[in-house]
Amino acid sequence: MSERTTAAEEKRRVILDAAVRVFARKGFHASRVGDIAEEAGVAHGLLYHYFSSKDEVLETIFSEHWTALLDRIHAVEASGDPPVRQLRGIVRSMFHGWRSDPDVVRVVIREIARSAEIGQRVGELVKPIGAIRRIFERGQAEGHFRRDLDADTAAVIVYGAIDELLTGWVLGRIPGEEEDVANAEHHIVEVLAAGLSASAEQLGEPRHADIPT
């Protein structure tokens, strides 16, 4: 890239990083474009050179975060590792954002989930569940995971556990320090692996539909 292009990209990044801090601190709706410009140390009008509105700034934050997350998940799924190790990789991938830039996760969870456009993002938001389902189905086919469990339901349960922890950290309901994240990562995989293991199938309770009436 030319020096001019590089400088423009760096300035754009400064504005986005400033917006993340402002949105995380004040909330999206209480934040003004002027707050972002002041945090970034740029002229108010310069922000409009890179973004048409505050909404576009938020959309860009979400898009960059979610694209990076899906890239990490795709790398895990394509790795060919044993299914349990892949599940561990999925959990680690989804916790990566909290470890590396918790303010971005705060903004995504607090603001995106409450936005009017959430319905338009459903296709993107369920992609991690699809990856987990495919890993689970592969584990079933290879005899690692019990075959009496529904892959779609199992994937939603795995994703739900991850999402609930992230939400708890964001809202301050539960501690979210590095030690807590590492502990959660370990327990999610160990608890799920024990329940999903093919060796646990014979110990499982009959499904509701199979219970005699």
On the question of pLDDT at 122 being above 60, the answer is yes
CA distance 139 to 141: 5
Please report the domains of the chain, with CATH numbers, ordered by start residue. Answer: 1-51 (1.10.10.60), 53-210 (1.10.357.10)
- Rounded to whole angstroms, how far apart are CA atoms 200 and 113? 36
Share of the chain above pLDDT 90, in %: 68
For the whole model, what pTM was predicted?
Answer: 0.84
pLDDT at 112: 73
Judge whether 96 and 79 are in contact, CB under 8 Å.
no
**What are the pLDDT digits (tens) for 68-92?**
999 999 999 999 999 999 999 999 9
